[in-house]
């Protein structure tokens, strides 16, 4: 594959998805069912279709047949002939599960172990769908709420004391006695394994106390109390209702992003975002879901550390491109905002790029190789490495998923007058 290809992408209809956000992006009528994620890439679970040589083909199969053409020789060798990232639009109308992702060693070990045990890849009891880790970058398209990482221990003690101090007095006392990672792990394990009656009492107490504290409706004061009530409304009886007291709540404004490394507990709560990650679907869950929970394995992969998740603001890389810097080797996310008389020019040496237009109209040119392609809201394309340099002009915005160069090799882009 040496030419730019339009993509057709799979929409995942998970129950927590929005009824309208993805249809509006794609310019399609709403189906009446929640649409949660739009997948762009070559993951075996739901590979994109690419228009190639006059017909629609699986991008996964095209890459398997032409790895050097699509990925470039260096990236094809570095990542075993596979596209190393998965690009998504995530539209959450309801909270997602509390979850974390394994590191590379844990993923390989877990995948091989479950294969040996004969657990089907399609089984709901399966933890590891592949052998890859899953660092990810989440970038808000709308105001986007979530939880990420453990709060400071003093905050956890304070909030649990307010919500259900009488019920959890022993657990709180043990955390105060051991205010470190082992204390956090013991508290987390204790909450996930509480006897049913104690769990019900703790949740009832938390919801009652959260409801008795005045919090403005716009969540501008302390959103922890309102999120306890909202999570209970969606998942009554789930221990995850208590977790806004344990985890940092965040609210990203459009254009802000977070990077989530392996082992970080998190849950996305509400909003629409761009999500770029390593090409994996490995998820260990801890609550706010009817899906499979494996508490021992989750405890094995989690990072039990106090932290404040740093918000990433984009760094200007050229006149019209801004990049979200992360330590990921598999992916790089940037946003390109082109306006009349200014043209964005790609590097000549690069791997496969996937572009998604989110606003306006753009024209993508690849010199004499391809006819110009018109991009408008919701249209995505893959630009193979063998296509070389390409240009964007017009008046619009697109997000670009790409592969970083090897250490010490910086890919430059530039803008020029058209």
Joined together, the tokens standing for residue 311 give 């918000």
Q: Which of 59, 82, 65 is nearest to 6 (CA)?
A: 59
Whole-model pTM: value is: 0.91
Query: What H or E segment, with its residue span, contains residue 70?
Result: helix 67-71
Q: What's the topology of domain 152-243?
A: Phosphomannose Isomerase; domain 2 (1.10.441)
Spell out the domain ranges in the chain: 152-243, 315-417
**Phi-psi map region of 108: left, alpha, beta (phi>0 left; psi -120 to 50 alpha):** alpha
The phi and psi torsions of 198 (rounded to 5 degrees) equal: -65, -40
Q: Is 285 a catalytic residue?
A: yes
Which one from 285, 317, 359, 414 is the annotated catalytic residue?
Answer: 285
CB atoms within 10 A of CB 21: 23
At the fourth CATH level, the homologous superfamily of domain 315-417 is: Jelly Rolls (2.60.120.10)
pLDDT in tens, the chain (418 residues): 788 999 999 999 999 999 999 999 999 999 999 999 999 999 998 999 998 888 899 999 999 999 999 999 999 999 999 999 999 999 999 999 999 999 999 999 999 999 999 999 888 888 998 888 999 999 999 999 999 999 999 999 999 999 999 999 999 999 999 999 999 999 999 999 999 999 999 999 999 999 886 544 544 468 999 999 999 999 999 999 999 999 999 999 999 999 999 999 999 999 999 999 999 889 999 989 888 888 999 999 999 999 999 999 999 988 899 999 999 999 999 999 999 988 899 988 999 999 999 999 999 998 665 688 999 999 999 999 999 899 999 999 999 999 997 543 333 344 444 3
């Amino acid at each position: 594959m040496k030419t730019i290809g339009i993509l057709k992408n799979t929409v995942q209809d998970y129950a927590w998805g929005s009824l309208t956000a993805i249809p509006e992006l794609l310019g399609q009528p709403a189906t009446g069912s929640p649409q949660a994620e739009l997948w762009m890439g070559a993951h075996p679970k739901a590979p994109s279709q690419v228009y190639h040589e006059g017909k629609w083909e699986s991008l996964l199969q095209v890459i398997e047949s032409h790895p050097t053409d699509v990925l470039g020789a260096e990236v094809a060798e570095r990542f075993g002939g596979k596209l190393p990232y998965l690009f998504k639009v995530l539209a959450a109308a309801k909270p997602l599960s509390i979850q974390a992702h394994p590191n590379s060693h844990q993923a390989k070990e877990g995948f091989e172990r479950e294969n040996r045990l004969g657990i089907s890849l399609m089984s709901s009891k399966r933890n590891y769908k592949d052998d890859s880790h899953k660092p990810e970058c989440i970038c808000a398209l709308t105001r986007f709420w979530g939880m990420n990482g453990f709060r400071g221990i003093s905050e956890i003690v304070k909030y649990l004391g307010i919500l259900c101090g009488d019920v959890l007095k022993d657990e709180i006392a043990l955390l105060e006695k051991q205010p470190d990672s082992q204390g956090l792990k013991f508290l987390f394990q204790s909450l996930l394994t509480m006897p049913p009656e104690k769990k019900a009492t703790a949740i009832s107490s938390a919801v009652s106390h959260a409801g008795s504290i005045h919090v403005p409706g716009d969540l501008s004061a302390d959103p922890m109390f309102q999120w306890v009530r909202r999570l209970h409304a969606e998942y009554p009886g789930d221990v995850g209702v208590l977790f806004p007291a344990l985890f940092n709540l965040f609210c990203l404004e459009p254009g802000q992003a977070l990077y989530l490394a392996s082992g970080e507990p998190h849950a996305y709560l509400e909003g629409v975002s761009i999500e770029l990650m390593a090409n994996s679907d490995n998820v260990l869950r801890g609550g706010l879901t009817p899906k499979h929970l494996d508490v021992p394995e989750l405890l094995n992969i989690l990072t039990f550390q106090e932290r404040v998740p740093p918000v990433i603001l984009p760094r200007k890389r050229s006149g019209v491109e801004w990049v979200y810097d992360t330590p990921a080797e598999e992916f790089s996310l940037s946003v390109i905002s082109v306006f009349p008389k200014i043209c964005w020019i790609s590097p000549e040496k690069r791997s496969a790029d996937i572009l998604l237009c989110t606003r306006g109209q753009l024209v993508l040119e690849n010199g004499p190789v391809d006819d110009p392609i018109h991009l408008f809201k919701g249209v995505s394309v893959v630009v193979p490495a063998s296509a070389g340099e390409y240009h964007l002009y017009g008046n619009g915005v697109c997000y670009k998923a790409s592969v970083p160069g090897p250490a010490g090799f910086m890919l430059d882009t530039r803008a020029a007058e058209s």
